[in-house]
């Protein structure tokens, strides 16, 4: 075991893993954290704590993850290289490990122009690929970047990375995935998938390269809440491909029934994803829908979760 985390145990045991996302509050109201977290208890194997998603200032991913650890809910701490140089990244990884956080997701982070601090300066001292190398070195070799002296203590971290199967140029996406695995990724969570047929084609390439045997791949799924949400994502999110049939389906139901239709589509997608070779689980990105995760996971037949 690399970290001993619940997520690692579930994947190593061959169970179909389920993770979801958790957005920290824009402030210090811990009642929000605890209320949202209780909706997720026992419904997923681990909870991704976002790191100032869309570049909006929020309670830090490390602090929120530590609160979840104290509640007995396993976090996957997201960490961006947008806001930190290599000194801060390594220091924060030490801090996370010391607080009992055993999973992390290394990502670049949304551009600050999306957020509420448009005059901020992006850092990107290292990129997400280099961050994977960094944390793997800290865990496996007990050395920091550019240092040969052994660090004091252990860094037991299950290391994750993100992948977008449909981002252009698509023909290089599997090669990019291989580089992330070689850099140190133990598990992969993909961006939101709606075109399951194209995703199936991408996964065939991934499996032909043997990458599914080198790491655990979790397919990202986002329940659609409305026709407007579907249209916006299809037209504005890079690499997002939503088939016209789904857009028409969402547009064809009354507004008050759109969320129900979105959940129904999600459940159908889970069944399709389960049949794809090389998939180890799903990552549910139900934006600000933590309260509906119990219903969504039950209807998608993702419960009960294994207890290991």
Question: In this structure, are strands 158-163 and 103-107 parallel, antiparallel, or unpaired?
Answer: parallel
What pLDDT, on a 0 to 100 scale, did the predictor assign at position 78?
Answer: 98
Which tokens sit at 275?
């049949």
CA distances to 92, 187, 240, 282 from 193, in Å? 31, 17, 8, 10
Within 13 Å and on the Cβ side, how many CA atoms surround 249? 16
Contact yes or no for 199/236 (Cβ under 8 A): no
Cβ neighbours, 10 Å, residue 95: 13
What are the backbone angles phi and psi of residue 182, rounded to the nearest 5°? -65, -30
Give dist(CA 171, CA 173) in Å, integer. Answer: 6
pTM (two decimals): 0.96
Give dist(CA 77, CA 66) in Å, integer. Answer: 9
User: How much of the chain is helix, strand and coil, in % rounded to 5?
Assistant: 45, 15, 40
Contact yes or no for 82/123 (Cβ under 8 A): yes
pLDDT tens profile 215-263: 999 999 999 999 999 999 998 887 788 999 999 999 999 999 999 999 9
Of 3.40.50.300, 1.20.120.550, 3.40.30.10, 3.20.20.220, the CATH number of 6-225+260-299 is 3.20.20.220
Give dist(CA 89, CA 108) in Å, integer. Answer: 12
What pLDDT, on a 0 to 100 scale, did the predictor assign at position 69?
Answer: 98
Task: Delimit the domains of the chain by residue range.
Answer: 6-225+260-299
Spell out, as residue ranges, where the chain has pLDDT lower than 50.
Answer: none
pLDDT tens profile 260-285: 999 999 999 999 999 999 999 999 99
Give dist(CA 137, CA 184) in Å, integer. Answer: 9
Q: What single DSSP character describes residue 45?
A: S
Which tokens sit at 221?
């799924």
Give dist(CA 21, CA 102) in Å, integer. Answer: 16
What pLDDT, on a 0 to 100 scale, did the predictor assign at position 238?
Answer: 73
What pLDDT, on a 0 to 100 scale, did the predictor assign at position 157?
Answer: 98
Q: Taking every pair of C-alpha atoms in the chain, what is the biggest distance, in angstroms? A: 63
Give dist(CA 44, CA 246) in Å, integer. Answer: 26
Q: What single DSSP character describes residue 75?
A: E
What pLDDT, on a 0 to 100 scale, did the predictor assign at position 113?
Answer: 77
User: Tokens 């961050």 label which residue?
Assistant: 131
What pLDDT, on a 0 to 100 scale, did the predictor assign at position 287?
Answer: 86
Contact yes or no for 188/216 (Cβ under 8 A): yes
């Amino acid at each position: 075991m690399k970290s001993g985390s619940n997520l690692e145990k579930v994947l190593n045991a061959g169970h179909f893993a389920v993770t979801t996302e958790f957005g920290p509050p824009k402030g210090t109201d811990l009642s929000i954290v605890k209320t949202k977290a209780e909706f997720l208890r026992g419904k997923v194997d681990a909870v991704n704590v976002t790191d100032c998603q869309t570049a909006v200032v929020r309670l830090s991913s490390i602090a929120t993850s530590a609160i979840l650890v104290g509640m007995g809910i396993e976090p996957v701490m997201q960490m961006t290289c947008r806001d930190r140089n290599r000194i801060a990244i390594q220091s924060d990884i030490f801090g996370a490990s010391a607080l009992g956080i055993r999973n992390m997701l290394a990502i670049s982070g949304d551009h600050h122009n999306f957020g509420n601090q448009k005059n901020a300066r992006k850092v990107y001292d290292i990129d997400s690929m280099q961050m994977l190398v960094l944390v793997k070195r800290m865990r496996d070799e007990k050395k920091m970047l550019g240092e040969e002296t052994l660090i004091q203590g252990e860094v037991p971290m299950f290391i994750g990375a993100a992948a977008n199967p449909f981002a252009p140029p698509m023909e290089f996406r599997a090669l990019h995935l291989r580089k992330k695995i070689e850099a140190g990724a133990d598990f992969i969570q993909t961006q939101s998938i709606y075109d399951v047929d194209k995703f199936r084609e991408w996964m065939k390439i991934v499996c032909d390269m043997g990458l599914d045997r080198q790491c655990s791949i979790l397919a990202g799924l986002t329940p659609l809440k409305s026709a407007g949400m579907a249209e916006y994502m299809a037209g504005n999110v890079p690499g997002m491909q939503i088939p016209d049939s789904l857009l028409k389906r969402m547009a064809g139901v009354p507004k008050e029934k759109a969320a129900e239709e979105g959940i129904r589509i999600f459940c159908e997608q889970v069944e399709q994803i389960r049949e794809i070779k090389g998939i180890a689980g799903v990552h549910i990105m139900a934006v600000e829908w933590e309260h509906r995760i119990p219903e969504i996971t039950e209807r998608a037949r993702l419960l009960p979760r294994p207890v290991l």
